[in-house]
Chain A
Amino acid sequence: MSAGTPPLSAPPPKPQVRALNCPKCGAGITLRTFGQAETVVCESCRCILDAKDPNLAILQQFEIKTSHVQPLIPLGTRGKLRGTDYEVIGFERRHSTLEGITYPWHEYVLFNPYKGFRYLSEYNGHWNDISICKELPMVGGGMLSGTSASPNYLGEVYAHFQTSDANTDFVLGEFPWQVRVGERAVVTDYVHPPRVLSSEKMDKEVTWSVGEYMYGREIWDTFKLPGSAPEAEGVYENQPSPVTTNVKGIWAIFILFAILLAGLMMGFDFTARKEQVFEQTYHWERATALGESSFVTDVFELKGGPSTVQVKSWAPVSNEWLYLNYALINQDTGRAWDFGREISYYSGYDSDGSWSEGSRNDTVVIPSVPSGHYYLRIEPEVDPAVRAISYSVQLTRDVPVFGIYGIAVVALLLPPLLISFRWYTFERSRWSESDHPPMQISGLNVNSEDDD
């Protein structure tokens, strides 16, 4: 961009700076733009002078309503912006009033004798590098004439953000237009982060400019300013989202994973042996259960590799309970899986109507049981109110555990949910300051630039 442009970091071209005096107060006036500025402001008496006039005719004199307006980048400061040396030659403060609240911002005029003018704007620590549009933005195949729709500029579609009045209330330095304090323009901003497209309508003249978001630290580095840049407050209209990922793309990947997971589930369910290895019904009677109640089953064989073993218990309990102490014991190795299961079922009727809780069935799945010869040790404990009860026990080997898929779905959902929430909260903050509050951002482009 700067190819062939002599850097300004070299000693400034002193002979071309004109030193003049203010016709009002006699203070020295420095012209840095080699006659390209339209107006220049006397820092001493706040007179706006005609820079094209050899006698610096007075165009306007204004008073500072606030006690202290100081540009963050002093006039005359030079820096290399996007490969080109620029000098800060002008500064103005403007404001918009929306719903009784005044929003002031600052604009800086930059100048390079070979590249011309460029601008910086600053609002609450948010900076924009602004230049005049090279061509008129288009909308619907024609040139944009109003403040509607979504203009297309250099292939990028911008969304309307805000239209407001911009009032100039302080100026300093040189300007390439006939600047006046008190002048009013209708400014319409369209955004495509990190860029903003602005139309500024004053009388019958419309000026289009395009800006790109810059961080304060970049400005400080560019102009070698002392200290550090003021912290940015809030979210600015064209501030790049911290979520650089394509959110829709992440959800598409989630759907793909969900389909793969469903495929896995169906595949394992289809191939699972679901082999019933043991089933028996037992009868318990209090009259004959005075001694040791525990007993062991016949030996059964589990074949194949480590797999799940599902133990199903059933008893016709009604307002009573049955507790079964189980131990699945490997006869060969002495290794045991020890667990207890309660079967209880209660029901009744009260002022709220009928109720019930518990179940006559119980199922537990023992994980990763290796092959071998096994037997069950069962020790029943029975509700004291029960005199006799039958219960059945059924063991099935290699059953699919669907809960694992539920956990996997939740795990797969978390990243898209988190990134979507982060994206949403940021965009909500951005658009809450616009003419289109968050509830109306249906046209908002979910796709942000991917960082991959």
Chain B
Amino acid sequence: MFRKFYLLFGLLTLGTVAFGQYRGWSLDTIDQVKNVPKSVRDNPGSYRSVYSSYHHYTGGK
């Protein structure tokens, strides 16, 4: 029973990996924004990234 489960699990895992690679999955999480106005191309300042004014690391050790 366990062997059958593991065979199925393994095949599903391999299948998921293959599908993910085919579809271009990534481990990085990137935010998506819809309907960005075309005017951004002419006026980049009209778009503000959610990451702007990010609090930066300013030191070393």
Contacts and interface: CB of A to CB of B under 8 A. Distances in A.
A411 B13 contact: yes
Contact of A377 (B21, B28, B32, B47): B47
Q: Contact residue range for chain A?
A: 35 or more
Nearest to A367: B26
B36 A381 contact: no
A380 B56 CA distance: 12
A415 B5 CA distance: 9
B55 to A, nearest CB: 10
B45 A294 contact: yes
B51 A365 contact: no
Contacts of B7: 253
Nearest to A415: B6
B30 A364 contact: yes
A403 B27 contact: yes
A190 interface: no
Interface in B2-39: 2-7, 9-10, 13-14, 16-18, 20-28, 30-38
* Residue from B3, B14, B31, B33 whose CB has the most chain A CB atoms within 10 Å: B3
Interface in B33-61: 33-38, 40-41, 44-45, 47, 49-54, 56-61
Contacts of A325: 49, 51-52, 54
Nearest to A419: B2
B44 to A, nearest CB: 4
A401 B37 contact: no
- Top 3 A-B pairs, shortest CB-CB distance: A346-B60, A340-B51, A367-B26
Interface of A: 244-246, 249-250, 253-254, 257, 260-261, 264, 268, 292, 294-296, 305-308, 319, 321, 323, 325-327, 329, 331, 334-340, 342, 344, 346-348, 350, 355, 357, 364-369, 375, 377, 379, 381, 383, 398, 400-401, 403-405, 407-408, 411-412, 415-416, 419, 450-452
Given A253-B10, A308-B25, A340-B49, 14 more contacts: A253-B3, A264-B21, A292-B45, A296-B44, A321-B58, A325-B49, A335-B36, A338-B33, A348-B60, A368-B23, A375-B41, A401-B25, A401-B27, A408-B17
8 contacts: A264-B18, A295-B44, A321-B56, A337-B31, A355-B61, A369-B24, A381-B53, A404-B21
